[in-house]
Amino acid sequence: MSWKDEVRELERRREMALEQGGADGIARQHAKGRLTIRERIDLLLDDGSFREHGRATAIPDYDDDDRLLGYQPANYVVGYGKIDARRVVVGGEDFTLKGGSPNAAGLRKSVYAEHLAVRSKVPLVRMLEGGGGSVKGGAKKGGTVGEPVFTEPRFKIIADAMSQVPIVSAALGPVAGFPAGRLVASHFSVMTRDTAQVLIGGPALVQRALGVRMTKEELGGAHIHTRSGIVDNVADSEADALAQARRFLSYLPSNAWQRAPVLACDDPVERMEDELLTAVPRDSNAPFDMRAIVEMIVDRDSFFEIAPDYGPSQIAGLARLNGQSVGVLANDCRVYAGAMTAEAAQKYRRFVEMCDSFHLPIVNFVDQPGFMIGPEAEKNGTIRYGMAAVSAAVQATVPWASIQVHKGFGVATAAHYGEDAYVLSWPSVESGALPLEGGVAVAYHREIDASPDPEAKRKEIEDRLRANRSPYARAESFAVHELIDPRETRPVLCEWIDWIQPRLEQLTAPVAFGMRP
């Protein structure tokens, strides 16, 4: 007696599960320029590290004698794996079966993915391609309908997970309905440029509801969603998308109870770039390249920008200083002078909450002219989103360093300083309640109007006030910690990184207010 027959049957079933949607289904997927979920998992994970959960999960078809006639594998694949030798949970829809719309067995496994990541306290990488539910799966006569009233809401674990473990989502094909909801419930999302679309409802629904005829690509292609903020980054290929997912995770701890790994750094902490001395033009209205400044200061090649096309007046990304992961925020004066638009504010708020959730210190390069103004800005509700960004900053628990690079005006500037921020100022700093050019005209309008030469009067007042704004005034009043030579920024920040280590060691639990989509 042995269990040889059962083992043989088990192996046969494992092979059937690996057939996915069959040779035809796989060929159709490849013809669309897309990989299957199992190929994606192989591409993402360290070689041979995938440990699938629920390999036998399927919709079987038995005859009256309990002989297996047919076998449709669950169309969601999930399990443990490793990225750079660190544990992760990985999951994704199998588009070769039912277009990724969950079959009953697949649905159970997809809901399991978040639970597995949260319980295992490891990051989750979702590789999304598929639709939501279908009316075809409706009630059977005599069966039960709906979920029992005491069931935990299905979305609770999706929301909870965001405060506990890093979540990355990659859209690698059409992603609609529920999977689109999962996509945005992430700390980082990426989509392929030519083969992915993200939609709440697809073309057929849109035409029925609104009478508008549009393609998937027109409704939810990369050109739409990198600017809507639904997807952070765009990738040229699936391999590129998954490489970006791996890179993002390299900066983060495995969960909110741990600290981000500190890597060995071969970039000298004392490195001082001469170009920093000329990086900010003396002409206040001439734009400059803030990204180049950031890259000269952080560890070489360590800057990973997130959502460059969304709210582009605000730059956000991850980087390292002497091997320590940090969140980098900076203003791009080439777009609306770096002003905080409604989009920039939402990007900012989410990014600060993400850094706070995973205890990444924030380094902020400030060139903030204020909230965006004008009719569009008012219609977009800019001040509300702006104050949400300010609130996220002042309530953040992570160590914070702000480098006053150039402008710092108005209420929006408050978003650039966490509580107890270490404030460094460059000689090029200009700050106050309002930029002088507009501010003087408003505040001194009576005096200016009454003058025989209003233009000369305005200039005289501006010059007088400008003198009070010398970078020394704030340093003398201890309103900034240090006025520094821009070239010193890297050494000074790296030293700061060393001094905040005891504080970072204390940050070992989820924060009171995590990140929401």
Partner 1 sequence: MADVEVKSEVAGSVWKVLVAVGDAVSEEQEIMILESMKMEIPVEAPCAGTVAALPVAPEETVEEDQVLAVIAS
Q: Is residue 308 near partner 1 by the rule CB under 8 A?
A: no
Alpha-carbon 142 to chain mean position: 46
Per CB under 8 A, contacts with partner 1 among 72-111 are none
- Around Cβ 69, how many Cβ atoms within 10 Å? 8
As measured in angstroms, the least distance from the Cβ of 443 to partner 1 is 17
Q: Is residue 345 near partner 1 by the rule CB under 8 A?
A: no
Instruction: Compare residues 13 and 291 and give the one whose CB is closer to partner 1.
Output: 291
| Residue 469 DSSP one-character state | T
Instruction: Compare residues 134 and 228 and give the one whose CB is closer to partner 1.
Output: 228
The full DSSP string for 414-435 is: GGG--TT-EEEE-TT-EEESS-
Instruction: Compare residues 73 and 221 and give the one whose CB is closer to partner 1.
Output: 221
Instruction: Compare residues 336 and 496 and give the one whose CB is closer to partner 1.
Output: 336
Give ∠ CA 129-73-184 in degrees, rounded to 5: 25
As measured in angstroms, the least distance from the Cβ of 285 to partner 1 is 5
Question: Do 433 and 460 form a contact (C-beta atoms < 8 A)?
Answer: no
As measured in angstroms, the least distance from the Cβ of 336 to partner 1 is 5
As measured in angstroms, the least distance from the Cβ of 102 to partner 1 is 38
Judged by CB under 8 A, which of 337, 344, 362, 494 binds partner 1?
Answer: 337
Instruction: Compare residues 261 and 435 and give the one whose CB is closer to partner 1.
Output: 435
As measured in angstroms, the least distance from the Cβ of 241 to partner 1 is 26
Q: Is residue 372 near partner 1 by the rule CB under 8 A?
A: yes
Binding window for partner 1 (CB under 8 A); candidates: 64-72, 103-111, 321-329, 366-374 = 366-374
CA–CA separation, 355 vs 248, rounded Å? 12
Binding window for partner 1 (CB under 8 A); candidates: 189-197, 208-216, 333-341, 448-456 = 333-341
As measured in angstroms, the least distance from the Cβ of 288 to partner 1 is 10
As measured in angstroms, the least distance from the Cβ of 437 to partner 1 is 6
Q: 3-class DSSP state for residue 410?
A: coil
Instruction: Compare residues 204 and 286 and give the one whose CB is closer to partner 1.
Output: 286
As measured in angstroms, the least distance from the Cβ of 301 to partner 1 is 24
Give the per-residue contact string, 408-447, with partner 1 (x = CB under 8 A; - = no): ---------------------------x-xx---------
Question: Do 494 and 384 form a contact (C-beta atoms < 8 A)?
Answer: no
As measured in angstroms, the least distance from the Cβ of 335 to partner 1 is 6
Measured CA to CA in angstroms, residue 422 lies from 262, 364, 444, 478, 511 at distances of 21, 10, 34, 12, 21
Burial class for 260, CB neighbours closer than 10 Å (0-12, 13-18, 19+): buried
As measured in angstroms, the least distance from the Cβ of 199 to partner 1 is 22
Question: Do 244 and 235 form a contact (C-beta atoms < 8 A)?
Answer: yes
Judged by CB under 8 A, which of 374, 456, 482, 498 binds partner 1?
Answer: 374
Instruction: Compare residues 336 and 365 and give the one whose CB is closer to partner 1.
Output: 336
Measured CA to CA in angstroms, residue 11 lies from 77, 78, 79, 106, 159 at distances of 18, 19, 19, 20, 37
CA–CA separation, 465 vs 482, rounded Å? 22
CA–CA separation, 268 vs 322, rounded Å? 8
Per CB under 8 A, contacts with partner 1 among 237-266 are none
As measured in angstroms, the least distance from the Cβ of 412 to partner 1 is 12
Judged by CB under 8 A, which of 174, 179, 369, 514 binds partner 1?
Answer: 369
Q: Is residue 339 near partner 1 by the rule CB under 8 A?
A: yes
As measured in angstroms, the least distance from the Cβ of 229 to partner 1 is 16
As measured in angstroms, the least distance from the Cβ of 436 to partner 1 is 10
The Cα diameter of the chain in Å comes to 112
Residue with structure tokens 């909870």? 160
Residue 59, beta-bridge partner list: 72
Structure tokens at 162: 């965001």
Q: Is residue 275 near partner 1 by the rule CB under 8 A?
A: no
Q: Is residue 335 near partner 1 by the rule CB under 8 A?
A: yes
Binding window for partner 1 (CB under 8 A); candidates: 79-87, 265-273, 372-380, 465-473 = 372-380
304-305/197-199 β-pairing: unpaired
Burial class for 209, CB neighbours closer than 10 Å (0-12, 13-18, 19+): exposed
Measured CA to CA in angstroms, residue 119 lies from 116, 123, 165, 284 at distances of 5, 11, 10, 53
Instruction: Compare residues 206 and 333 and give the one whose CB is closer to partner 1.
Output: 333
Q: Residues of 487-502 as b/e, b for ≥16 C-beta within 10 angstroms?
A: bbbbbbbbebbeebee
Q: 3-class DSSP state for residue 318?
A: strand
How many residues are present in the chain? 517
Instruction: Compare residues 289 and 505 and give the one whose CB is closer to partner 1.
Output: 289
CA–CA separation, 96 vs 487, rounded Å? 55
Instruction: Compare residues 74 and 340 and give the one whose CB is closer to partner 1.
Output: 340
As measured in angstroms, the least distance from the Cβ of 178 to partner 1 is 32
Binding window for partner 1 (CB under 8 A); candidates: 108-116, 129-137, 172-180, 327-335 = 327-335
Q: Is residue 336 near partner 1 by the rule CB under 8 A?
A: yes
Per CB under 8 A, contacts with partner 1 among 279-298 are 284-287
The residues that touch partner 1, with contacts defined as CB under 8 A, are: 284-287, 312, 333-337, 339, 369, 372, 374, 376, 435, 437-438
